[in-house]
Amino acid sequence: MRVDRITSDEFRKAVTKSTLLIIPIGATEAHGTHLPLGTDTFQAERVADMISAKKDNVLVAPALPYGNHSSLKNVPGTISLTFDTLRSVMYDILESFIEHRVRKILIVSGHCGTSHMAAVTEACRDIVSEHDTKIMFVSDFEIARAEKEFCFDGDGHGGMIETSRMLAIDPATVKKERPKGKFVHANGVVLQDASSCIPDGIVGDTKNASAELGESMNNYIADTLIRMLDRDLK
Ligand SMILES: [Zn+2]
C-alpha cells in the first residue's frame, strides 16, 4: 500500500507495531545515453512495491528522488543534495514517520555512492540512538551485484544490471543503443571533476541486457530483502 494514495484515517489504521514502512531513495542522475535520469528512483520504487505485494502489513512511502553525488555531479541532469542536506532530510522524514507510530523501517536506495550511503547511514544512526525503532538500510544495486548470477565482468553504473532492470520496469524510457564503458581509477588523486572516472557515462557492457534478466533481478532483490527482513527485522 502506497502512503501517498491512502487517507490520513487509513494511514492511522494501517500503522500497527508490526507494520513495516519502506522508504525508497532514488536519484536524479545521468545514466549514460540510454537510461533516464530517474533510473535509481524507479528501481528502488519497484523493489518496494514488489515487497509490498509479496508481504503483509507493508506501507511504501513516496520515494525521495534526490541523492548526494560526486562522480557525475557535473554531468547535465544530475541534481545533487549536499551531504548535510541529505542527512537532515532523511533524519526529518524518519522522525516524522516515527511521530506517527511507525516502528519498523526499511530504506532501499537505488543510488549507492559512498558519501550518499554515509549521509543516510548517519541519519539512521542518530534516529536509532534517540528512538525505540528498527531500521534496515540497503542498496538494491549492491544486493543484485553480490549475486553470482548477476555479477558481470566490470559492470557498474548504468551497466548490465541497471539496463536490464529498467527494461523490465519501464522499457519505454530505455533508448535502443546499448553502450559500454569502463571505470578509470584516479589512483588516489583527488579530482576537481570526478566524471573523468566514468568517461563513457556508464560502466559495463550493456549488449546482452534484457527485460527477462531484469525481471529476475528485481524478483531476486525483493525475495532476498524479504528473507533479510524476516530474519533481522522481526
Ligand atoms: Zn543507478
**Could you tell me the domains of the chain?**
3-232 (3.40.50.10310)
- How many whole angstroms from 10 Cα to the centroid of ligand 1? 33
Whether 233 and 20 have beta carbons less than 8 Å apart is answered as: yes
Q: What residues are paired with 2 via a beta bridge?
A: 60
Q: Which tens digits make up the pLDDT trace of 51-60?
A: 999 999 999 9
Q: Is the pLDDT of residue 190 over 90?
A: no
Residue 19 makes CB contacts below 8 A (sequence gap 6+) with: 57, 58, 59, 102, 103, 104
Q: Give dist(CA 35, CA 25) in Å, integer.
A: 18
- How many whole angstroms from 63 Cα to the centroid of ligand 1? 15
Q: Which tens digits make up the pLDDT trace of 76-107?
A: 999 999 999 999 999 999 999 999 999 999 99
For residue 136, the one-letter residue type is M
- How many whole angstroms from 220 Cα to the centroid of ligand 1? 17
Q: Is the pLDDT of residue 214 over 90?
A: yes
Element spanning 24, H or E: strand 20-25
What per-residue confidence (pLDDT) applies to 82? 98
Please measure the distance between the N-terminal and C-terminal CA atoms of the chain and give it in whole angstroms. 20
- How many whole angstroms from 209 Cα to the centroid of ligand 1? 15
Q: Report the pLDDT averaged over residues 208-233.
A: 97
Q: Is the pLDDT of residue 196 over 90?
A: no
What per-residue confidence (pLDDT) applies to 195? 84
What per-residue confidence (pLDDT) applies to 199? 87
- How many whole angstroms from 86 Cα to the centroid of ligand 1? 17
Stated length of the chain: 234
On average, the pLDDT of the chain sits at: 96
What per-residue confidence (pLDDT) applies to 234? 82
Burial (CB count <10 Å: 0-12, 13-18, 19+), residue 121: middle
Whether 64 and 93 have beta carbons less than 8 Å apart is answered as: yes
Q: Report the pLDDT averaged over residues 120-148.
A: 97
- How many whole angstroms from 233 Cα to the centroid of ligand 1? 26
Of the chain, the percentage scoring pLDDT greater than 70 comes to: 100
- As residues whose CB is below 5 A from the ion ligand 1, the structure lists 39-40
- How many whole angstroms from 183 Cα to the centroid of ligand 1? 14
- The DSSP letter of residue 194 is G
Cell 560526486 identifies what position? Answer: 70
Q: Report the pLDDT averaged over residues 154-161.
A: 95
What per-residue confidence (pLDDT) applies to 192? 82
Q: Report the pLDDT averaged over residues 153-169.
A: 96
